[in-house]
Homo-oligomer: A and B are copies of this chain.
């Protein structure tokens, strides 16, 4: 399959960055970095009765206000039953509002309340602070590379979702 040794293409460009050792380092970097990525919001949430799932729901409701449950399901990639439990507690606690659809009464459109926005802000600020520090340390070219590799690592379906969100925000 792959012996991990250095190799060279016909064109002569060096593919040393594709050795098994380089890939393994990439895998481990992903693992450790993701821990850092979630650490700050996790700390904030652990004080409440909330977890990472609540953070994700809040993030994407903020990102796409009025989104339906089904839409959120596709973004988050979990079952509707799993999302529903999270959503229920958020609605009960007055962080999220669920409005019955006008044209299709089966649908529920989701919005953050004032309290929901407040928590979203706290979580975002914490996560952005770390991302900002990392981006600043690494510099713009590294950031561009970072994004390019991450996009190439997504499943095509997720990549489409990501692009759609990106275009809606910018």
Measured CB to CB, the residues of A under 8 A from B are: 1-2, 14, 17-18, 20-37, 39, 56, 59, 63, 77, 124-125, 127-128, 130-155, 158-159, 161-162, 165-166, 169-170
Contacts and interface: CB of A to CB of B under 8 A. Distances in A.
Given A145-B146, A162-B28, A23 B138 contact: no
Given A21-B170, A30-B34, A135 B155 contact: no
Closest 3 CB pairs of A and B: A145-B145, A142-B145, A134-B152
Indicate how many identical chains form the complex: 2
Contact of A144 (B145, B150, B155): B145
17 contacts: A1-B125, A22-B143, A23-B131, A24-B63, A24-B169, A25-B169, A25-B170, A26-B131, A26-B135, A32-B150, A32-B159, A35-B77, A36-B154, A138-B148, A141-B145, A145-B148, A146-B149
Contacts of A141: 141, 145
